[in-house]
Amino acid sequence: MKPQPYSIYPLYPRVFHFGACGTNYQSTNCMHLHEKVKQKVNQLEKNLFPKNKLNIINKRDNKRDQVFSGAGGFADPRDIALCNSMVEMRNF
């Protein structure tokens, strides 16, 4: 039986976008957004540079069960087959 491919993806972005501030919006006080992001980063700080190996959690993506529209995408079996054909599973 061929092992299932897996992906590693971040739970939070590397860059936080302050969409309600800046050139698109003329808000004068963006400190509340800055504080909100700062709190989140402080919360996650212990996980930013782990000293131990990362834990891999098997999490099934239910999107795979969706009906595809024929235009491709994550639920398209053709794209899944293409990705599987380019991946070689290795145990490290």
More confident residue, 4 or 90: 4
What pTM value is reported for the model?
A: 0.37
Residue 7 located in a structural domain: no
Q: Which of 35, 42, 11, 10 is nearest to 21 (CA)?
A: 35
32 assigned ligand-binding residue: no
Residue 28 located in a structural domain: yes
pLDDT tens for 32-66 read 778 888 888 888 887 777 677 666 565 555 555 55
**Count: domains in the chain:** 2
More confident residue, 91 or 40: 40
**Could you list the residue range(s) of the whole structural domain that residue 64 is in?**
58-87
pLDDT tens for 1-40 read 777 777 766 666 677 766 666 655 666 677 777 888 888 8
Q: Which of 48, 45, 20, 24 is nearest to 34 (CA)?
A: 20
Instruction: Report pLDDT for 51.
Output: 73
User: What is the Cα–Cα distance from 57 to 60, expressed in whole angstroms?
Assistant: 10
